[in-house]
Homo-oligomer: A and B are copies of this chain.
């Protein structure tokens, strides 16, 4: 399944905590599924440390290669949050207080101390478009085709739906699964023939073992619903034959 650039994207996960293995990245899975429903394919994910030169070069590579880039992490108040400034540098834009973000944060921290760390969260690349946090706290932002999201998964889930109107969406990527109680190595040749018959469908084969029994989850993905229905029939026939063996 090959997408035209119009419907492609990349995700850039920024954060030492993911690279050190301390934290398992959940944002990729959530963002990718959400984009899949809009017909936008994630073609590449890169996980990088909180290092300015790496953020700048990765971002500049990805934003030219794909229609959209989604970053997560590094937009908080502390010293290790350097994403916003790095994004500004990648675009050659000023890194400055966004007036609207400043007002939002000033209001949110009204009863407590609106200190330097908190003010930092209002600093963004010049001309950034805000992505609001419904809970009233620090907004995220976008610049051109780059969407700069927080690292905390619950915030990403809150913010992402706002972007639906902004993105050029394609046809929904439909995903259909068949659970075969058969080892994938038994069916490998037959499955390959079915894949050849349906070049527009990505057929993935994922072996598993559950309660001592082996099985295979066969996953079909495509934007063409009719073809998936046809393909599924062939796969079910194959599973039937092998289950009987």
Interface of A with B (CB < 8 Å)?
13, 15-26, 28-36, 41-49, 54, 76-81, 109, 112-113, 115-118, 120-121, 152, 173, 175, 184-189, 191-192, 195, 202-207, 219, 221
User: CB distance A78 to B117 under 8 Å?
Assistant: no
Task: Output the residue of A30, A45, A47, A207 with the most chain B CB within 10 A.
Answer: A47
Tell me, in angstroms, the Cα distance from A126 to B32 when the chains sit together.
Answer: 36
A27 to B46, CA, bound (A): 15
Q: Are A21 and B42 in contact (CB under 8 A)?
A: yes
Residue of B nearest to A13 (CB): B45
Q: Can you offer 25 A-B residue contacts whose CB atoms are under 8 A?
A: A15-B204, A17-B206, A19-B42, A19-B43, A19-B45, A20-B36, A21-B31, A43-B49, A44-B46, A44-B48, A45-B46, A46-B46, A46-B47, A76-B207, A77-B185, A79-B192, A79-B195, A79-B205, A80-B202, A80-B204, A80-B205, A109-B185, A115-B185, A118-B185, A120-B188
Q: A21-B31, A44-B54 are in contact. List 4 more A-B contacts (CB 8 A).
A: A17-B204, A18-B29, A21-B33, A80-B203
User: Do B16 and A79 have beta carbons less than 8 Å apart?
Assistant: no
> Which one of B78, B185, B203 lies within 8 Å of A121 (CB-CB)?
B185
Once the chains bind, are A192 and B32 in contact (CB under 8 Å)?
no
C-alpha gap A36/B20 in the complex (Å): 7
Bound together, the chains give a CA A17 to CA B109 distance in angstroms of 42
* Contact of A184 (CB < 8 Å), options: B28, B32, B77, B192: B77
User: Which of A32, A204, A221 has the largest number of chain B CB atoms within 10 A?
Assistant: A204
CB closest residue in chain B, given A137? B185
Given contacts A175-B22, A207-B152, contact A192 B78 (CB under 8 A): yes
- A185 contacts across to B, CB distance below 8 A: 76-78, 109, 115, 117-118, 121
